[in-house]
Amino acid sequence: MAPSKFNSSGEGNFSSPMAENGFLNSTSLLNSEKAVQELLQRSPLMETDDHLVEFSEALRTVAKALRKAAEGKAAAQAEAAEWKRKFELERTRNLQLEYKGQSPTERNGYDNKRSRNLPPQATEQSEWCCGLNGICSHEVLQDGDIDSVSQNASRKYTRKASFKLSWCCNGDHSDRHKHDVVSFEKGNITTAERSSRQISLKWESQPQTVLILTKPNSISVRMICFEMVRWLREYKDLQIYVEPRVKNELLTESDYYNFVQTWKSDEEIMVLHTKVDLVVTLGGDGTVLWAASMFKGPVPPLVPFSLGSLGFMTPFHSEHYRECLDSLLKGPISITLRHRLQCHVIRDAARNEYETEEPILVLNEVTIDRGISSYLTNLECYCDRSFVTCVQGDGLILSTTSGSTAYSLAAGGSMVHPQVPGILFTPICPHSLSFRPLIFPEYVTIRIQVPFNSRGHAWASFDGKDRKQLAAGDALVCSMAPWPVPTACQVDSTNDFLRSIHDGLHWNLRKTQSFDGPRDA
């Protein structure tokens, strides 16, 4: 769209040359937005120019819609390229199966045909994809071995058909962790063991390094930390990492603690997961959140000891740390995989959805609220490009199941077992009484956008910190992160979860009904 030209009477002459593909390019879209800004600067708006204000807002909306259409076209082209790649891989597989059933003489002609028909690097891509992720999408719905199928061809209408299904594999790193969640064998769809049983971790080699993270400004935590460091060094002969603050406290106490290691830069923290076998936290749930935020990728197994005011994620008692750590270092360990949300802020000025700010990982929740504004928040919500609703109220909470007993519960959300892979969608004081909380499956992507007609800005906070302002046109995109936080269980996931809500929330605690009251006849 070329810049709009306005005459002295305020009437506009619009020219909108279209590209060959029928969509406006990004340059023309930016020009249209600049034209609106020039109009507003050259023609100061008076109180009587309401129609001109509405017109400029409408033009902004149109430019935004055209930009989204151009992005949609790019996404469609990428999807078409992906389908073409899958077709080539399927054709490669069919040619390989055909090659199996041929005689040696026929194979010579087949090899020539194969060299002409196969796309470059097709075999290499197939081996790379399958080698890392197991069964891939191009192997879906294959009915076993070709020879066995041909032998049973006469019975193909009388026997139950066998098939194989798998998670979509397109080479994307974010999809790899979704393999092997559901098993499909011989026509019977069953749930895999890992989604229905307690997860156990068994050491293949003895742990050598432990990272200890502590709650600050607590004398009792400091004393336990001193004792634990000495015990792990003298009786378990382990390498010990602590925070720089804690190392200074240890050296102030005694020069004996010179063996303790720490880090000096953020770059060293980024590779800490490659050095540490086990993480021990001394504090409450806040210390667990701090430990999880340190690891932007894989997280070592975490052993949380309760020394704080909240203990939903800290099942171990600090006074018994010797017995607990002795058992955990030997293994096996029952663990709870606590899923995290990966959040991206996309500004309105971004040219596409890949121009985002640094991703933020949250273990409890991300909250979008109205901040200090007196106006209701106005948020447009989408789930995998499907419109969900428009939130008008104090805000919205996107929570993990581990965070279901935190802010989401206070806002009316459900308590959910931490190993249930889902995303909680909980409104904060909505303006509609029919607006009830939702729970989405873990594989969806949720997009929260501040519309251009919003009266004020919104604010996003991540696990109660890293607060960011969201202006009109900005969006927050959340999906499940591929790296959960494995926390050790005292008994198992279910027992620890139920005990935490009984002890921490006094859930369903009431006086027992008297036995000498009225009874049925």
**415-472 confidence digits (pLDDT tens):** 999 988 899 999 999 999 999 999 999 999 999 999 998 888 999 999 998 899 999 9
Contact 122, 168 (CB under 8 A): no
**298-354 confidence digits (pLDDT tens):** 899 999 999 877 788 999 998 889 999 999 998 888 889 999 999 999 888 877 766
What does the pLDDT read at residue 83? 74
**200-235 confidence digits (pLDDT tens):** 888 888 899 999 999 998 899 999 999 999 999 999
Greater pLDDT, 138 or 268: 268
What does the pLDDT read at residue 350? 76
Q: Helices (DSSP H) in 237-381: which residue ranges?
A: 244-253, 266-270, 285-294, 321-330
Mean pLDDT of the chain: 77
Phi, psi torsion values for 175, nearest 5 degrees: -100, -10
Spot the catalytic one: 285, 369, 474, 496: 285
Q: How far from each other are the two terminal CA atoms of the chain, in whole angstroms?
A: 83
Q: How far apart are CA 241 and CA 268, in angstroms?
A: 12
3-state secondary structure of 186: coil
Q: How far apart are CA 206 and CA 454, in angstroms?
A: 57
Contacts of 50 (CB under 8 A, 6+ apart): none
CA 454 to chain centre: 27
Q: How far apart are CA 402 and CA 496, in angstroms?
A: 12
Name which of 40-49, 116-125, 139-148, 416-425 the model is least confident about.
139-148
What does the pLDDT read at residue 55? 79
369 as an active site residue: the answer is no
**243-271 confidence digits (pLDDT tens):** 999 999 999 999 999 999 999 998 999 99
Q: What letters, b where the CB count within 10 A reaches 16 and e where it falls short, cover 345-374?
A: bbeeeeeeeeebeeebbbbbbbbbbbbeee
Q: How confident is the model at residue 52 (pLDDT cuts 50, 70, 90)?
A: confident
Name the burial class of residue 337, with classes exposed (0-12), middle (13-18) and buried (19+) by CB atoms within 10 angstroms of its CB.
Answer: middle
Greater pLDDT, 65 or 410: 410
In the chain, the domains with their CATH numbers are 209-338 (3.40.50.10330), 341-483 (2.60.200.30)
CA 250 to chain centre: 37
DSSP code per residue over 301-316: -EEEEE-SS--SS--E
What does the pLDDT read at residue 75? 72
Q: Helices (DSSP H) in 208-299: which residue ranges?
A: 219-236, 244-253, 266-270, 285-294
Q: pTM here?
A: 0.66
What does the pLDDT read at residue 39? 56
Contacts of 473 (CB under 8 A, 6+ apart): 64, 347, 348, 449, 450, 452
